Amino acid sequence: MQAPTLGQSLRRVDGRQKVTGQARYAAEHAVPGCVHGVLVTSTIATGRISHLDTQAAARAPGVLAIVSHLNSPRVPGYETPQPDERVEGQQLRVFFDAAIHYNNQPVALAIATTLEQAQHAAALVRVAYEQAGSQTDITKNLAHAYTPKRSENYARGQPQAYKTAPVQIAHEYQTPMQVHHPMEMHAAIAEWQGNSLTVWNKTQAPTLAQQDLMKLWALPKEAVRVHSPFVGGAFGGASRIWPPEMVAILGAKVVGRPVKVLNERGHEFNMVGYRPRGVQRVALGAQPDGTLVGVSHQVFGATSRYEQFTERTLHPTKSGYRCPNAELTYQLVPLDLSTPCWTRGPGETTGSFALESAMDELAYALKMDPLALRLQNFAEVDPNGDRPWSTNYLRECYERGAAKFGWNQRKPAPAATRQGDWLVGQGMAMGIYKAVRAKASARARRLPDGTLVVQSATADVGPGTATVMTQIAADAFGIAPEKVRFELGDAALPPAPGQFGSHTVASVGAAVHAACTALRQQLADNPAAPAEVVREAPEVPEKGEQSSKSFAAHFVEVRVHAHTGEVRVARVVSAIDAGRILNPKTAQSQVYGAITWGLGLALMEDAVLDHRYGRITNADLANYHVPVQADIPPTIDVLFIDKPDPYLDPMGAKGLGEIGIVGFCAAIANAVYHATGKRVRELPITPDKLL
C-alpha cells in the first residue's frame, strides 16, 4: 500500500525546471517568426492626443509598423462591451481613440525585427497633447465619493451605537498605493492564424483569460488558445487582460506575424493594476470590561473613472469580532488613474490594518491587554448572519502564538523597554480571510507505462500548486507521487478558476481528488475500461449554511532607533488556522512570503504620485522600496494548527495564500506604538513619522 503523501513536505515538482532555466515564462517561448513590440506611453493624466508623429519611427531600420489609434484594428468587444463579473464599467480600450485616461497609458506600439530596433523606433515617436485638469489625490476628493453598484455597505443592530458606550475611540487610517512588482514583468506573445488567436501570456487564470479574449474578439472557444505554464509571481496583478497583452494581439494582426511585448519595469506602474490608496475611519465603543458595544467603519477606496473596482475592505469587520451593532460603509473615489486590481489579501489586508489598529487603541484606552480584548470579543459564530463556523481554531492561534512569542512577559506601558539606542516594542493582531471553493474540473488519465497524467487549466504563480496537486492525485489514486505528472497553464485543459482568492487548493484540489478517485474505482471495477475520466467539483459559496474562514494571530517585536526613527522587525510569530496543511514546506514558504509583503506595506512601499501630472515619481525598484534580505527578521516562527476542515473539500484544507498578510501590518504598527508611544495611522511607517 502506497504511503500517504498529503501532509508531507514534498519538494517542488517543478523546482529543477525553474533553477536550471528549463521553465519558459511568457516572454521566453520560442515562436517562429516572432518580432518585437515596444510601448510608447502617455506623459499626461487626462486629455487628448492632438498630434501623433510616427514618420521618423516608421523609417527607422527594421521597423514593420507603428500601431496607434490612427491605424489599430477594430476590436468587436470595444464596440459592444460585455459585462464583467469582476469589475463594473468599461475596460480601457487600447488604441481605441485619442482620449487619455491616465499617465503611462499606451499611445503607440513600435514593432520591429529586433528588440533594439523596436526600442529605437519607440524613442522616435512624437506625441503632442491637449491636456485637461486631473485629480489623483484621494484625500482631496472624498467629497466626490459615491456608493458603487456592487455595494459593500453592511449594518446590523443600531447605527452609531458605539457612541453610547462608556469607552470610545475614533480615528482615521490611511494605506498607500502599492504596486505588485513580481520578478517577471507583464508580457505576451500573440499570433493570429486566420481567425484563430494564440497567446502566450502571464496569467493567473488561463480559463478566464480565454473567456475574456473570446468576448473581446467575438471568437468561439476553439479559436482562442492561452498558454501560461509558468508564472514568475503575480500577487493578483495577472488576474485580467491588461494593455501589454492587447497591444501584442493588435500588433500581430497589423503585421501578420507573432509579436512579443514585454513591459519595462516603469510600465508596471499605473498600467497593470495596483493596490489603491485608501482612507478609513473606524470608531469603536466598549464596556469597561472590553465587551464591544458598537463599531463604525467607513471606507473610501480609489478607482479609475472608467471602471468601479471594489474590494473586501470591510469583511474583517463584518466577521472578526462579536459585536451586536455595526455600521459599515464603502464608497469609491473616482480618480484620473488606471483601474486598481486585486493585490495580495485584497481589501482584507488594508481593512484589517484599520480594524486591528483601532482594537489596539481601544485596548490602551481600556488599560487592557490587547490579546485579552480580542479574547473577550471572540465570535463563537460568524456575526455576519449568525452562521456556525465550519471550523474556527483562532483561540488556539492566540494561545500557541502567545506562548511561543512570550507575550505574557511583555511590559504593558509604551516606551518602557530600551536596549541601548533602540526602543523595543511588541504588538499583535488578528487575521481573518474567506475560505471558499469555486467550480473547477480536472482530467485524470493513466498511461500504459503506469504514469498518471492529471490536467487542469489552473495556474501556479509560485506557491507550489503543481506540487500539492501531485500529492492530492497520488493519494487519491494510490500511487507514488513520482508516477504523477500534473499539467496546467493551458486554457485547452479542463476549465479551472484563477489562482487567486486563496481557493485554488480547495477548488482545483477537489476536482483532482474527484477525478483520480473515480479513475481508481473505474479501473478497479473493470481493468479494461478506458483509462481516462474528467470530473467537475461544484462551488461551495461563501454564503452557505456554514461560514468557512481561515484565521491567524500575528505577534511581532520591533526595534525603533531612538535618534533616527529607523524601524526594524526583530522577530515574528504567526499562528495560522488554514485547515489541514497539505505540504508544510510550501505552506511555510507561503507565509514567509506574506510576512515579507506585510513588512513592505507596513514600513516601505509607497507609490508616490506627482499630482500635477498624475505620474508616479518613484517608478523603478531603486526608489520604490521593497524588503530585501537584510530587512527580514532573523526569527520567523510559523505555527500551523493543522486541523482539517471537511466542509470545503475532501482534503480538509482551507485557504492559505492570503491569511498570512491579513492583520500583519497592524501587528507591526501596534508594536511600533508599544516601542515609542507614537501612533502612526498612515502607512508606511517611515522615520519622518516617528521623529
Q: pLDDT band for position 452 (50/70/90)?
A: very high
Residue 336 has pLDDT above 80, yes or no: yes
Tell me, what's the pLDDT at 578? 98
Q: pLDDT band for position 2 (50/70/90)?
A: confident
Q: Hey, is 106 helix, strand or coil?
A: strand
Query: Which tens digits make up the pLDDT trace of 108-161?
Result: 999 999 999 999 999 999 999 999 999 999 999 999 999 999 999 999 999 999
Nearby residues of 611 by Cβ (< 8 Å), 6 or more positions away: 134, 135, 136, 137
Query: Which tens digits make up the pLDDT trace of 515-538?
Result: 999 999 999 999 988 899 999 999
Whether 498 and 204 have beta carbons less than 8 Å apart is answered as yes
Whether 248 and 189 have beta carbons less than 8 Å apart is answered as yes
Residue 475 has pLDDT above 70, yes or no: yes
Q: What is the mean pLDDT of residues 587-593?
A: 97
> 154-178+274-435+544-689 adopts what CATH topology?
Aldehyde Oxidoreductase; domain 4 (3.30.365)
Is the entire prediction scored with pTM above 0.75?
A: yes
Decide whether 15-22+437-537 matches 154-178+274-435+544-689 in CATH topology.
Answer: yes
E strands present in 10-83: 35-41, 47-53, 63-68
**Catalytic residue annotation:** 658
List Cβ<8 Å contacts ≥24 apart for 364-369: 364/414, 365/167, 365/168, 365/169, 366/167, 366/286, 366/288, 366/290, 368/290, 369/412
Closest to 200 in 3D by CA, of 260, 137, 129, 290: 260
> 31-133+196-233+238-268 adopts what CATH topology?
Aldehyde Oxidoreductase; domain 3 (3.90.1170)
The structural domains of the chain, with segments of one domain joined by +, span 15-22+437-537, 31-133+196-233+238-268, 154-178+274-435+544-689
d(CA 506, CA 236): 18
> 15-22+437-537 adopts what CATH topology?
Aldehyde Oxidoreductase; domain 4 (3.30.365)
d(CA 528, CA 533): 14
Tell me, what's the pLDDT at 86? 82
Query: Which tens digits make up the pLDDT trace of 28-37?
Result: 999 999 999 9
Least confident of 76-80, 256-260, 517-521: 76-80
d(CA 358, CA 673): 12
